[in-house]
Amino acid sequence: MKLKKLMVCAMALGVFAASSAAMADTAKFRVAYLARAQSDSFAAWLANAMVKESKKYPDVSLTVFDGQSQNSVMQSNIENAVTNKYDLVIIQPYDPAVQVGPVKAAMAKGMKFVATNPKFADDSIPSVDSSPYLLGQVNAQLALKQVPKNAKVVVLLGPPGNPHSTGRRDAWQKEFFAKRPDVKIVAEQTANWNKDEAMQLMEDWIQANPKIDAVISMNDNMAAGAVEALKGSGMQPFPLVYGTDGTGEACLLIKDGKMTSTALQSADELAEKSMKMAHDILTHQKTDLHEVEGTVLYTKQNVNECIALHKKLGDIK
């Protein structure tokens, strides 16, 4: 199977693609970036950021490939990166437990890797990642003050076993649900980071539960899908909606009063550190492995900062 090149809708997230042939001809190092999906707004933002960051390194040509949220495609892309003799692969795993085997097999053949968003449980694989627990914690601590007594809530999860989904959910459990036994979870299910899946689940949950006080989503893409379903239902009062990633879409929804908060996972910082780590590895420089970034919680009070960030990036016109 051939590698799947990643394309992004120009209107939504800006245009990026493989590096130019001229750059590839002059660059010393060929790097492949294996994104988990083009339909995921954060994954697309991260891939776009990787391309921009790679331009700071004249000796590197970066090509982006789409994993299509499919483990089979991710594995094929890993194998083909070895076959096509890339010097290094930066990978955003879709399912780390599944991808770790092919990555370790490729490393055994001499391929160099950097993992990001999320990292692998195996610390022998260099990685740059944010803290899933922190991203969930800041939202959960806000929800403690906001979610009404005896509330009914729904929970949207990422792919089963994904450490960013499980880590954020763990934070919600310890920082919110354990402290609020009055709150009842009326539905909880995975939507695989996918907006359309989340919208469908939310439509079903609205039919089964006329009153929902809050939507707790492990990422912004699913939160945005839930908001679409809620807007279509006309539910009043509109539930609190919590997300994670700090995407441009989420920030606009917060501005519009349709989302409550989002915890920023800076794709630009992840890309900056990942590209630096990759370049350090390629040039045999010392590098700090397994770097972890912080976060910012965006609410109605400071969401203009988030919107300004995405306007600068070109994600919001």
Residue type, 269: E
- Give the DSSP per-residue string, 214-245: EEEESSHHHHHHHHHHHHHHT-SSPPEEEEEE
Q: Which two tokens stand for residue 41?
A: 């707004």
67: Cβ–Cβ under 8 A, 6 or more apart, which residues? Answer: 4, 34, 35, 36, 37, 73, 74, 77, 92, 94
Residue 10 confidence (pLDDT): 27
Domains of the chain with CATH codes:
10-129+267-293 (3.40.50.2300), 132-264 (3.40.50.2300)
User: Taking the chain (317 residues) in consecutive chunks of 10 residues, what is each chunk's mean pLDDT?
Assistant: 36 32 65 91 93 96 94 94 96 94 95 94 92 96 98 96 94 98 98 96 96 97 97 93 97 97 94 95 83 87 96 87
Among all chains, which residue has been given the structure tokens 């039919």? 207
DSSP 34-58: EES-SSSHHHHHHHHHHHHHHTT-T
What is the amino acid identity at position 49? A
Residue 183: which residues within 8 A CB-CB, separation 6 or more?
A: 147, 150, 151, 152, 153, 176, 177
Q: What is the pTM of this model?
A: 0.85
Between CA 63 and CA 89 the distance in angstroms is 10
Cα separation, 271 vs 129, whole angstroms: 10
